Amino acid sequence: GICMGRKFSKMTDAVLNAVADGIEILEYSVYKPGALMRYGYPFIKEVENERARRQMRSAAWRLKRKGYIEEKRELRGRAFRLTELGEKIIRSDESASFNPVAFPPNIFLIVSFDIPERFKHARQSFRTVLKTLGFRRQHLSVWISDKDWTAYLEKMLENLKVKDWVVLMKGEIILPKPTL
């Protein structure tokens, strides 16, 4: 083959053509996913399966990094199991069964914490729970809510074993007025 005045061997020409085909397929999959039909249904299924495998690997890696699961390599592949922290998170994820009462205007549940670095996974889990419950971050480790989540948080703190470093307060914020 000839490209821009240069001669290529048959092998180089074949490699360049394969790369060009691959780039074309990639462009189709990104810009026109429906156009992949020209490559046939089995090809599309394989692309979808690979995408799903990648998402699963990514999710497992994030859960491992946060300390929620641990991996065990076995003869037939890999197995995952919940860590103690992961089990606590799942057990404490029963917020739907709690029905918090809204406080009167200008009264808030204030959560302040200083959880040591050695419990950073529990601290991050606690922050995630606060966000999920609709708390708003007032300062780095100070969160507020206009709903009374006290009973739920007491149970959560017991499960995470970090209650010694968390203070729950109920009161009025004088300055600045919170915007929830």
114 shares a domain with 163: yes
What would the pLDDT profile of 85-97 be if each residue is shown by its tens digit? Answer: 777 766 665 555 6
- Tell me the C-alpha distance between 53 and 148, whole Å: 41
Q: Which domain holds residue 38?
A: 2-80
Contact criterion met (CB below 8 Å) for 145 and 152: no
pLDDT band for position 142 (50/70/90)? very high
- Residue 7: the pLDDT is 65
**Both tokens assigned to 119:** 């419990």
User: Domain of 94: which CATH number?
Assistant: 3.30.70.240
74 shares a domain with 124: no
pTM value surpassing 0.85: no
**Which of 24-33, 54-63, 80-89, 169-178 has the lowest average pLDDT?**
24-33
139 shares a domain with 122: yes
Own/partner pairs, 148-153, CB within 8 angstroms, 24+ separation: 148/100, 148/101, 148/102, 148/103, 148/109, 149/98, 149/100, 149/109, 150/109, 151/98, 152/95, 152/98, 152/100, 153/109, 153/111
Q: Which among 88-97, 105-114, 128-137 has the top mean pLDDT? A: 105-114
Q: Evaluate whether residue 179 is within a structural domain.
A: no
Among candidate residues 33, 50, 80, the one where a domain is terminated: 80
Q: Evaluate whether residue 30 is within a structural domain.
A: yes
DSSP 166: E
Among candidate residues 14, 49, 80, the one where a domain is terminated: 80
Number of domains in the chain: 2
* Cα 179 to the center of its chain, rounded Å: 26
Q: Which among 11-20, 48-57, 76-85, 139-148 has the top mean pLDDT? A: 139-148
Contact criterion met (CB below 8 Å) for 37 and 45: no
